[in-house]
Every structure is written in structure tokens, then in C-alpha cells.
Chains A and B, each alone.
Chain A
Amino acid sequence: MPTNVGRRLQRGYWGTVLRRFLRHRLAVTGLILLLLLVFAAIAAPWLSPYNPYEMDVMAFGAPPSPDHLLGTDSVGRDVLSRVLHASRVSLLVGLGAVTLNVVIGVLLGSVAGYAGRRIDSVIMRFTDMMLSFPPLMIILVLVSILGPGLANVVLVLGLLGWPRICRLIRAEMLRLKEQEFITAATALGVPGPRILFRHLIPNAFPPVLVAATFGTAQAIIIEASLSFLGMGVQPPTASWGNLLTDAQSMGVLGSMPWLWIPPGLFIVTAVLSINFLGDGMRDALDPRLRD
């Protein structure tokens, strides 16, 4: 009987969340756009009309035409195929970096919040120090040292982006720790790690999910910026950012807009839809979090 009530209450919570989310029109639009992008990324090899590395010797820097819907770049590669393949790289970087952020942030933050005292203050001072680094500066330095490239960009973004999640989950821990169901679990003799992983962390997850969503958008922008500066994903592998690198020359910028406008619009669409999604999720999961 009690489990029944519990299950119904639980369904009630997620039902409410879903209803609140669907009411948020921009968030639903964002979700649909994002799903389309993810689909385009996964299906890139089948959707692309050409091989993204193949050069068409008949068309160097050709403007959009029925043959090449978005034109070709200066060495004759099909822009549409390159943008589609770039989606895989850019979305993967965003997801990979944020996964690392969440793992590190949740581990450190929950331990700090649950253990308290000495451990808490050591972890939090470290977090404060990480936060006082000017982010892009240190990312640029690290990436240029490790050498640019896909894996290193994910690693650097993943290792530097966790402090915010860490603080968030620590605050949640401090709040939840005082609640009765935790006292009950402790009184029942449930071991500490089990309380932490089965009772505390799952309950602290909604705000983390929201932060991770916004974090993904952030990571995509930073990856694009790095690749744009030539310090991120290296050509010939295409990422949304490095497709725009050539547009730094006034000649390309002015005379070949088909080269840089499509990848730019992909970045904006991705980031915007993820941010809308995050906005909707925040309102749906926990209305208290609304700013």
C-alpha cells in the first residue's frame, strides 16, 4: 500500500513536470529544433550529398547551385556536407565536456556538502580558486599547450567547467541533509555512501540537469570560438567553429558568404535551442529556480 501511494506521487511529480514543460512554447520549439540537429548529426553520412573531404575539381569556391546546395569552399569541398559532418563534432564536444563537468562537479560537491567541516572547506576553497581564473584565457593557454584537437578541447572544457555544478550540488546537499527522510535513513542504519548515492544525489539532480543544459550551450560556444581562432578542432576535420576561420579574411567574408553563414547559423540554432530547452526545464522541474 505505501509503495502504491509513493508511485502515484512520483508519477504525479513527473506528470506535472511534463505538463509545465509543454506549456513553455519556446522550450518545446527548442527541443524540436535540437532533435532535428541531433538527427542531422547522426544521419550526416546518409544526408550529405558528398564526401566532406572530397574536392570537386570542377568547382572551386563555387556559389550555391543545384549541384552544391550551399556551394563549395576554396578547395572545392561541398559546404553542406561539411556543415552536416561538423554537427557531429560540435555536438559531441558539448556533450562530452558537460558529462565530465557533471561527474567531477557532482562527486566533489556532494562529498563537500555531505562530509562538511574540513573536507568541505578544502574542496570549496579549491573551487573558489578555479572560479577566479578568467575562463577563456586559461582555456586558451591550456589548449595551446596540450595541442589543439578534438580530445584536448573536450578534456580542457571538461576539467575546467565543473565548479558551478559543484557549488550548486553542495548547496542542495546542505539543504537536503537536514530533511527528515535523511534522518530516517541514518536512524535505520543505512551506510553513508548509500545515503549519498541513493537518497541525496538523486534528489539534488533537477538543478544539476538544468545547469548541465546551459553548460552544454556554453561548451558549444567555447569550442566554436577556439576552433575559430585555430586552437580547437583542426582541419580537415570540420567543426562549426573552424568552418568560420577562413572568414577572418576580408576577401572570403565579403565574396563567399555561403562559406561562413551556414555554419554560423547552425551554431546559433544549436545554442539558442539548448538555452530555450534549459529555460523550459528550469521552469518545469523546479519553479523555485525561476529567476
Chain B
Amino acid sequence: MSRYLVRRFLIILPVLIGITFINYGIINLAPGDPVDLMIDPNMSQADKEVRREALGLRDPFLIRYARWMGELLRGNLGYSFTTFEPVTVRVGRRVGPTLILMGTAFVMAYLLAVPLGILSAIRPYSWVDYLTSFMALIGVSLPTFFTGLVFTYVFSLRLGWLPSGGMQSLGGGGGLADLVRHLILPASVLTLTNIGLVLRLVRSSTLEILKQDYIRTAWAKGLPERVVVFRHALRNSLLPVITMAGVQLPALIAGSVITEQVFQWPGMGWLTVQAILSRDYPTLMALNLLAAIMVLGGTLAADLMYAVIDPRIRYD
């Protein structure tokens, strides 16, 4: 097991370095730099050059990358080009809200999808099955931003039940209840776009398991359906669902970028859009790095869980 762990980490490391390198590369190929964007008519060309020098934008690419990597290893991700605060602080502030949003959506998607998926697998081609497949496909087909707009329009503008954006009411300190009220709409939107994939996977893996010989044996013993499904089938059919949890992270991150933008949720996704629009390279790099780490970490965690839960799998 430990040898497997070490090997997995050794595979991840070059991928991570590759990701930072390519990211840094394409961001640096970009025309235009932050100095150009500070459109101050009073700033002379010479002043702009001084700014550029100060921000270290004149050095060759590899030197800038090496310097950035060196600082990175010391825990310094540089300073934002727009707000001049440390990137770690700027991004760090956004991690909490994003985790709250993604975590809620993640849990909600699984709580809904697992029972529904099992139900449609034990009654394949029934109306429940058709309804859930149909809903799953609709969930996958709805663009996050359109669902977000519709939800805001209906629940916030028309019915006035819930706030249309932000994480807290103005004037601060509304406590947990206030946070939950703000969380309901964005979390539901994100759940809806993610539920389809989980549903289909739960259904197909349960269907697969129900065809196995040991399930037929369980039926033949005259066990009631409840026992066959929950004691014999469920444990095995949920195994692939765990790996799915890791694979799903990229989709969840992508969904949260759009959702946060629509609902002005003060998380990493919203910051990403802001950083792109203002060409704030250090912030963008940090966000991309964090997203890549989350994706790789998620996949790794899922693989490890799989190995722990399923004793048939031997990695070394």
C-alpha cells in the first residue's frame, strides 16, 4: 500500500510541474500586460516602463518562471497585480466560500442521486426509471448560467423568497440562517447540473451488480428484496460511485465558476473571472494551481478510498 502511495505521488509531481509550466507559459504569451490596462492618461511611457520593471515583467520567461517556482516552494505566490495584496491572502479568503458552496452541492447531489439511482435500477424500464433518466439528461443539458438566471428570476425577483446574490445580507452578521438563505439558490443550481452524472452511474453499476451470480444465489435462498438489495447489492454497487466522486471535481469546479459569477458568491470561481478580466497573472496562476491540485488530489483520494474499501484490489 505504501509503495503504491509513493508511486502515485511520483506520478503526480511531474504532472503538477507540467501544469504550472504550461499555465505560466500561455499566460506569458498573452498580448497586453497589466500596466497597459491601468489606463491613466497622466502616466508617461517612461513611468510605465518603471512599473513594468518593478513588477519584474521585463526578465526572460524561464527566469520569471524559475523565480516564481522558487517563491512558490517557500509558500509565496506573489502579489496581485490589481490589489497589491499577497495572492495567498487574496485567494485564501475565497477558499472557504467555495468549499461551502461545492460541499453543499456535492452532498445534496449524492443524497438525491443514490436513492433515485438504486430505485431505477431495481425497477428498470418502469416509470420511475424513465422519469429519473429523463431528469438526469435534463440536468446534464441545462447550462448552469441559464438555470441560475431562471432561479433568480423566479425565487428571488418574482416570489421574493430568497436573496439574489452574495453570501451575507448587507450590514453583516446575519449568522448561520442568513448564510443558508443565501446558499440555497446557488447550491441548488450546482446540484442540478451535477446530479445527472451520479444518477446514471449509480443506476448502471447497480444494474450490473444485480446480474451477478451471488445475487441470484441470494434470491434463490428466498431472501426478501430488502435484504438482497441493501445487504448484498448495495455495498458493491456503490464502489464505482466513490471513484466518480473524484472524477466529478473538475465538473464541480467548472460549474462553480459560472454559478459564483451569476450569484456573486465571493469564492474562487468569481475571483477567477475577475482575475482573467484584469489580467492579474499571479492570482490566476494561484487559482489554476489550486484547481489542478484539487483535481489531482480528488482523483488520488478516490483511488485510495477504493483500495481501502474494496479488498479485492491489490496495488502492489
- Residues of A whose CB lies within 8 Å of any CB of B are 26, 128-129, 132-138, 140-142, 144-145, 147, 217, 221, 224-225, 228-231, 244, 247-248, 250, 253-254, 257, 260, 264, 267-268, 271-272, 275-276, 279, 291
Contacts and interface: CB of A to CB of B under 8 A. Distances in A.
A267 B146 contact: yes
Given A132-B19, A134-B295, A268-B141, A140 B157 contact: no
B273 interface: yes
A134 B142 CA distance: 20
A260 B151 CA distance: 13
5 closest residue pairs by CB, A with B: A136-B254, A291-B204, A145-B30, A264-B146, A271-B141
A134 B288 contact: yes
A134 B291 contact: yes
Contacts of A134: 250, 253-254, 288, 291-292, 294-295
Nearest to B152: A253
Interface in B274-316: 276-277, 279, 284, 287-288, 291-292, 294-296, 299
Given A132-B296, A136-B257, A230-B277, 8 more contacts: A129-B19, A134-B253, A134-B292, A137-B254, A140-B257, A244-B149, A271-B142, A275-B141
Interface in B178-235: 200-201, 203-204
B137 A275 contact: yes
Contacts of A136: 250, 253-254, 257-258
B26 A132 contact: no
Contacts of B257: 136-137, 140
B144 interface: yes
A27 to B, nearest CB: 11
Contacts of A275: 137, 140-141
A279 B134 CA distance: 11
B138 interface: yes
A218 to B, nearest CB: 9
B137 A272 contact: yes
Given A132-B15, A260-B149, A144 B276 contact: yes
A229 B261 contact: yes
25 contacts: A129-B15, A129-B19, A132-B15, A132-B19, A132-B292, A132-B295, A133-B19, A136-B250, A137-B253, A140-B257, A141-B27, A144-B276, A144-B279, A147-B31, A217-B141, A228-B145, A229-B261, A244-B146, A248-B262, A250-B152, A250-B164, A254-B153, A264-B146, A268-B142, A268-B143
Contacts of B295: 132, 134
B157 A253 contact: yes
Interface string B257-272: 1100110000000001
B149 A145 contact: no
Contacts of A133: 19, 292
B276 A231 contact: yes
Interface residues of B, number: 50
A34 B261 CA distance: 30
Interface of B: 15, 18-19, 23, 26-27, 29-31, 134, 137-138, 140-146, 149-150, 152-153, 157, 164, 200-201, 203-204, 250, 253-254, 257-258, 261-262, 272-273, 276-277, 279, 284, 287-288, 291-292, 294-296, 299
B276 A244 contact: no
Contacts of B31: 145, 147
A132, A134, A272 — which one has the most chain B CB atoms within 10 A of its CB? Answer: A134
Nearest to B295: A134
Given A136-B257, A137-B287, A141-B276, A225 B15 contact: no
A173 to B, nearest CB: 23
Contacts of B150: 264
A142 B27 CA distance: 8
Given A145-B26, A253-B157, A254-B157, A137 B288 contact: yes
B144 A229 contact: no
A147 B26 CA distance: 12
Contacts of A135: 250, 254
Contacts of B138: 272
Contacts of A248: 261-262
Contacts of B277: 144, 230
A141 B25 CA distance: 11
Contacts of B294: 134
Nearest to A146: B30
Contact of B157 (A141, A229, A250): A250
A225 B152 CA distance: 17
Contacts of B164: 250
Contacts of A141: 23, 26-27, 276, 284, 288
